[in-house]
Amino acid sequence: MKDNWRESLKVGDEVAVHNMRGSGRIDIVARLTKTMIILPGGSRYCKKSGRRVGGGIWDSAFLEQPTKELRDQIEKDHILKKIVGSDFKSLDINTLKAIHSILKEKARKKMIDLKLNSRS
């Protein structure tokens, strides 16, 4: 990834925003100045470093180029937060069986991979 990708941004381009809590999101450039990138909510980022301008240590954030891998990671993180916060007791038996089946298959594949790698 090139460090100067922020210099080529235009209004309407997408950026990935990460904060100190580790959460990320995709946002859109609302405005540009000579030295700053401004997002729709008004948060400002330095073009040169990608770091958020203003706010305290707990409000710090930075911009990254929204690659396919980064988009997938952000989506995965959001899905995991929803899953972890879910009340599985409220799900019907068929939904629980489907989830269990997926997890069981994933564990089986992981065991096969571990066995194959230990033989190498």
The predicted structure's pLDDT at residue 1? 46
Q: Tokens 């019907």 belong to which residue?
A: 92
Distance between CA 3 and CA 34 in Å, rounded?
17
60 and 26 together in one domain: yes
Question: Tell me, what CATH number does 37's domain have?
Answer: 3.10.330
The predicted structure's pLDDT at residue 120? 60
What is the value of pTM for the model shown?
Answer: 0.71
**Full domain range(s) for residue 32:** 3-68
14 and 48 together in one domain: yes
Q: 28: which 2 tokens?
A: 């859109």
The predicted structure's pLDDT at residue 109? 84
Q: Tokens 């930075």 belong to which residue?
A: 62
8 and 62 together in one domain: yes
Q: Give how many domains the chain has, as a whole number.
A: 2
21 and 60 together in one domain: yes
